[in-house]
Amino acid sequence: MLFPRAAGILLHPTSLPSRGGIGDLGPDAFRFVRWLADAGMKIWQVLPLGPTGYGDSPYQCFSAFAGNPLLIHVPDAAACGHEGISASAETCDFATVIPAKRARLNAWLDTLPYDDAVHRFVRQQESWLPDYALFMALKDVHSGAAWTSWERGAARREPEALHAWREALRPAIERCYKEQYVWFGQFHALRAACAAHDIQLMGDVPIFVAHDSADVWANPSLFKLNDDGSLIVQAGVPPDYFSATGQLWGNPLYDWDAMARDGFRWWIARMRAALAMFDLVRLDHFRGFEAFWEVPATDTTAVHGRWVQGPGAALFTALTSVLGPMPIIAENLGLITPEVEALRTQFGYPGMAILQFAFEDPASAFLPHRYERELAVYTGTHDNDTTIGWWQSTGTGDSTRLAEDLAREKAFARQYLHSEGHEIHWDMIRAAFASVANTALVPLQDVLGLGSATRMNLPGRPGGNWNFRFTWDQLPAAITTRLRELAQTYGR
């Protein structure tokens, strides 16, 4: 699918300013849309928007279909006696925010009627919402424990047990229905505002889902699990730039044979839901659809995994036959083989190039003069350091590369960008915008020139991620004008 020449910003909604300690889908999100338009941007890319679980990661969600209730904007007038959340304006302290936000949200939801509009919404979402609402209610009853440790009837989804639990937990289930009704209402209002300002909303579909999720609990036959629901094998990636021992993600792996037997029904439903929400979709870890790194469930690193053949073209043929051509950008980073690239090009999905990786080798395909038009270029992604942090790195942090390697890399970057590095973030933005790649995306931290402390995620770090927030005083008119002029200069 052809993408028009455009530039955009990568910013997760949790990073927006707000009075609630965490960004949400309220007034500041609408203000951000207006800022994007003023800055000449055409795309707003977000991370996955599902309800977060382990490590507050948007890539470890309790559902691939539900919205994260922490993103619901609770009107100040509807606080129901609950005070605002005292928190830093620059970071999200999830340990403080989650219980406080949940208390305010629940108090407000309890004042809202369970009316015909909610009934209609539940019927429209019946393929996933009843299971999700029961799953979350059961988690609360079991003190947040993973579903594999629930009482047997609930864990094994015995029909009589589920019926009894649905009756016993009806108030919590109906509150969850209202929560998701409100979430989707606020989300679609924001998407309408994006459309009114000629901003395309770009979502993110992770290849894998969390083990402790309604998706796995409700569909255990589609995953490689033992009879008790525990993992047989888990997902990860081999040693790479980010980690000498690889990345161990802990997600269950799909039983692709079982999925193929029912025509990839679950994946068709997942992509249909994503395309109903977003104008564009970044498909995470595209490499894993051709072949994925399978690690024994008992391993503590990803070193001893193995490559296993994925569904390949069969999956995308099934998706396309039902959904038509899909506006997908394929995240083709890591150990990419000719077979992966053949699969991507067969279906016409643009790949990605990361400028922070471009200067490691003069022959790098990430150097702008080697780009093709159907490509999305980033200064960095949510998994990278900020551009300023990368430039200031001495090789003693997360990277597996040596200090002398980094010195050579930066010398080449100075030469290539014709830069002394004083405004390296703007030099990188200019290189991305000037390239022939049709899509250029920049994390907001790079527009603001922020350092490593504002990095969104450090792969492999169990905590302290995903908590960046910006403030409006960091976006003066001069930055807006400079970004808009670059977009105009390079036809974006």
Taking alpha carbons only, the member of 255, 229, 233, 256 closest to residue 302 is 233
Q: Kindly report which listed range (58-62, 190-194, 240-244) carries the lowest average pLDDT score.
A: 240-244
Only one residue has tokens 């208390």, namely 103
pLDDT at 239: 85
pLDDT at 400: 59
pLDDT at residue 240 greater than cutoff 80: no
Whole-model pTM: value is: 0.96
Domains observed in the chain: 6-67+190-489 (3.20.20.80)
- Could you report the per-residue pLDDT of 88-135, keeping only the tens digit for each? 788 999 999 999 999 999 999 999 999 999 999 999 999 999 999 999
3-state SS, residue 317: helix
- Does residue 140 have an active-site annotation? no
Q: Which of 24, 204, 284, 385 is catalytic?
A: 284
- Does residue 383 have an active-site annotation? yes
Q: Which of 28, 215, 290, 383 is catalytic?
A: 383
H/E stretch holding 323: helix 313-323
Contact 237, 306 (CB under 8 A): no
pLDDT at 189: 98
H/E stretch holding 318: helix 313-323
Taking alpha carbons only, the member of 216, 219, 218 closest to residue 234 is 216
- Could you report the per-residue pLDDT of 260-300, keeping only the tens digit for each? 999 999 999 999 999 999 999 999 999 999 999 999 999 99
DSSP category for residue 126 = T
pLDDT at residue 435 greater than cutoff 60: yes
3-state SS, residue 331: coil
Mean pLDDT of 438-463: 94
pLDDT at 462: 78
Taking alpha carbons only, the member of 362, 356, 371, 374 closest to residue 455 is 356
- Does residue 284 have an active-site annotation? yes
Tell me the pLDDT band of 401, cut-offs 50, 70 and 90.
low
Q: Which of 28, 56, 331, 409 is catalytic?
A: 331
3-state SS, residue 71: helix
**Which residues pair with residue 294 across a beta bridge?**
235, 306
- Calpha distance 127→132 (Å, rounded): 10
Mean pLDDT of 438-447: 98
